[in-house]
Structure 1
Amino acid sequence: MKKTNKVLLLGLCAVLLVAASVLGTVAYLTSSDSVTNTFTVGSVAITLDEQDVDNSTEGADRDQANAYKLMPGHTYTKDPIVHVASTSEDCYLFVKVTNEIIDIEDENSVAAQMADKGWIAVDAVNGVYVYTTDRANPAVVSANANVPVFETFTIAGSVTNETLAEYENKTITVTAYAIQADGFQNKTASEIWNMAKFDTAGN
Structure 2
Amino acid sequence: MSKKKIITLALVAIVAITAIASASLAYFTDTKTADNTFTMGNVKITLDEAPVDEFGQAADGERVTGNRYGPSAVYPGAVLHKDPTVHNVGDYPAYIRATVNVSNWMNLVGAYYPDFNETFPNEGYKAALNLLVGELGEGWSVVGVVAGDTFTIGQFDAKFILKYEGELAPGADTTAMFNNVTIPAGIDNVNADSFDRVTVVAQAIQANGFDSWEAAFAAFDA
TM-score by length of structure 2 reads 0.60
Shift in alpha-carbon separation, 1:61–1:158, aligned structure 2, 3 A: same
Is the aligned partner of 1:113 residue 2:135?
yes
Deviation at 1:51, TM superposition (A): 1.2
Q: 2:83 aligns with which of 51, 57, 79?
A: 79
Q: 1:154 aligns with which of 182, 186, 201?
A: 182
CA contact (8 A) 1:90 1:142 kept: yes
What is the CA–CA distance in structure 1 between the aligned matches of 2:43 and 2:210, rounded to whole Å?
A: 14
Q: 2:172 aligns with which of 130, 136, 145?
A: 145
Is the aligned partner of 1:177 residue 2:176?
no
CA contact (8 A) 1:73 1:156 kept: yes
What is the CA–CA distance in structure 2 between the aligned matches of 1:37 and 1:67, rounded to whole Å?
A: 51
Letter in 2 for 1:143: P
What is the CA–CA distance in structure 1 between the aligned matches of 2:145 and 2:185, rounded to whole Å?
A: 33
What is the CA–CA distance in structure 1 between the aligned matches of 2:184 and 2:22, rounded to whole Å?
A: 100
Aligned length: 162
What is the CA–CA distance in structure 2 between the aligned matches of 1:165 and 1:30, rounded to whole Å?
A: 83
What is the CA–CA distance in structure 2 between the aligned matches of 1:23 and 1:118, rounded to whole Å?
A: 70
User: RMSD over aligned Cα, in angstroms?
Assistant: 3.2
| DSSP 3-state at the match of 1:39 | coil
Shift in alpha-carbon separation, 1:27–1:81, aligned structure 2, 3 A: same
Letter in 1 for 2:172: A
Shift in alpha-carbon separation, 1:183–1:194, aligned structure 2, 3 A: same
| DSSP 3-state at the match of 2:217 | helix
| Unpaired runs of at least 5, structure 2 | 1-20, 55-59, 114-127, 147-158
Shift in alpha-carbon separation, 1:66–1:123, aligned structure 2, 3 A: closer
Deviation at 1:92, TM superposition (A): 0.2
Higher Rg: 1
What is the CA–CA distance in structure 1 between the aligned matches of 2:82 and 2:203, rounded to whole Å?
A: 19
Letter in 1 for 2:26: A
CA contact (8 A) 2:133 2:181 kept: no
Q: Which position in structure 2 is the counterpart of 1:27?
A: 26
Shift in alpha-carbon separation, 1:24–1:111, aligned structure 2, 3 A: same
Is the aligned partner of 1:194 residue 2:195?
no
Letter in 2 for 1:37: N
Letter in 1 for 2:93: D
Shift in alpha-carbon separation, 1:88–1:117, aligned structure 2, 3 A: same
Shift in alpha-carbon separation, 1:162–1:23, aligned structure 2, 3 A: closer
What is the CA–CA distance in structure 1 between the aligned matches of 2:85 and 2:112, rounded to whole Å?
A: 21
Deviation at 1:113, TM superposition (A): 2.2
Deviation at 1:120, TM superposition (A): 2.4
After superposition, give the CA deviation of every residue in 1:102-129 in whole Å (9 maximum; x if it has no partner).
5256985346522x53222345876222
Identity of aligned residues (%): 30
Letter in 2 for 1:149: M
CA contact (8 A) 1:52 1:63 kept: yes
